[in-house]
């Protein structure tokens, strides 16, 4: 079963330098991510960037991940 810590590490691996906070119950998770890659991107694109760092886990081991995404300084 996935732990918030696992998800946090995967996002940080995929978005070096990002500030990541993850909570969750093993199936449904919430994450706050602040990353420079988000600058100028739509909400949809930001979420796709985060999902990409989680690869095949998304929609499988991770049933749901609700996201709050910000670029630094927003």
Partner 1 sequence: MNTQEKIREQLSGDKIVLYMKGSPQSPQCGFSAKATQMLGACGAKYASYDILSDPDIRQGLKEYSNWPTFPQLYLNGELVGGCDIMTELFQKGELQKLIAKAMG
Give me the residues that bind partner 1 (CB under 8 A), please.
43-44, 47-48, 51-52, 58-59, 63-67
CA-based max dimension of the chain: 35
What is the closest distance, in whole angstroms, from the C-beta atom of residue 55 to partner 1 in the complex?
A: 9
DSSP β-bridge partners for residue 58: 62
User: Least distance to partner 1 from the beta carbon of 68, Å?
Assistant: 9
**Which residue, 19 or 52, is less far from partner 1 as judged by CB?**
52
Q: What share of the chain is helix, strand, coil (3-state, %, to 5)?
A: 40, 30, 30
Expressed in angstroms, the distance from the first to the final Cα of the chain is 34
Least distance to partner 1, CB of residue 39, Å: 18
């Amino acid at each position: 079963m996935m732990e918030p810590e696992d998800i946090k590490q995967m996002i940080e691996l995929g978005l070096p330098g990002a500030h990541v906070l993850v909570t969750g119950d093993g199936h449904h998770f919430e994450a706050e991510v602040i990353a420079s890659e988000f600058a100028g991107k739509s909400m949809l694109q930001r979420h796709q960037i985060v999902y990409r760092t989680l690869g095949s886990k998304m929609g499988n081991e991770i049933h749901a991940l609700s996201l709050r995404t910000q670029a630094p300084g927003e």
